[in-house]
A and B are shown apart, each in its own frame.
Chain A
Amino acid sequence: MQNRNQMKLEFDARSVNEGFARMAVAAFIAEENPTLDEISDIKTAVSEAVTNAIIHGYDDPEQKVAVICKIEGRNVEIVVEDKGKGIADVKTAMEPFYTTRPELERSGMGFAFMEAFMDEVQVISAPGEGTKVIMRKKIGA
């Protein structure tokens, strides 16, 4: 029988929750005995997606960010979702060094990191509706 498990977190769009979100996901997947490298990869990807929801998705910190984490055997799927501003051109947004907030010293490397550290990254977004980032990684492969 392969392991199945799922959790959902919802929290305010406050930067203090970036650390909380990646720690919670790391703790949730620990049961599957990932390597330290796999844990770090997943923590980095979660941090990027959650930070984006907080910085780019919302202006109001009372708005909510959701993180869903699903485990099916060795497959981990993480969904990070906001109901904020959305992205008009996802392909351009995902290009390395592309940022709409250079004044905040954003590096534009967030999506590049998600793609480098996860096996698969999918972004569903529409202006005014929000953004959903779906990331998958096989652990212990």
Chain B
Amino acid sequence: MENYYEREKGSLTVVMPREIDHHQANQLRVETDMLIEAYHVRHLVFDFSKTEFMDSSGIGVIIGRCKNLGYQGGEVSAKNLNDRIQKIFLVSGLQKIIKVEEN
């Protein structure tokens, strides 16, 4: 994981990598799940400020975390989407599934 921080107890922000594809997705998934457990995360925030590329493999990772946290009554949101990531969210319908914080 490149970077992450706890804003308040149970709320963890994960800074997403520069490129998110199938090759990157596995590591991202494993590390995010480790952090969710270690920090008892109830609110997970994906920060896209560094992300220049994401394909549908990234969608899979995000939806997977939504499901897992959802079962435990937690929530997932996203922030700092550039135009490209916004387009990816729109095409995939992700913006209807997770909350996108205003920049």
Contact = CB atoms under 8 A, between A and B. Distances in A.
Interface of A: 15-16, 18-19, 22, 37, 40, 43-44, 47-48, 51, 54-55, 104-110, 112-113, 116-117
- Interface centre among A19, A105, A112, by most B CB within 10 Å? A105
A37 B22 CA distance: 21
Per DSSP, chain A at the interface is helix
A39 B61 CA distance: 24
A113 B91 contact: yes
Interface stretch (B2-10, B51-59, B69-77): B51-59
A113 B55 contact: yes
Nearest to B52: A40
Contact of A40 (B60, B61, B64, B84): B84
11 contacts: A18-B21, A18-B23, A40-B53, A44-B88, A47-B55, A51-B22, A51-B55, A105-B61, A105-B63, A113-B55, A117-B91
A79 to B, nearest CB: 18
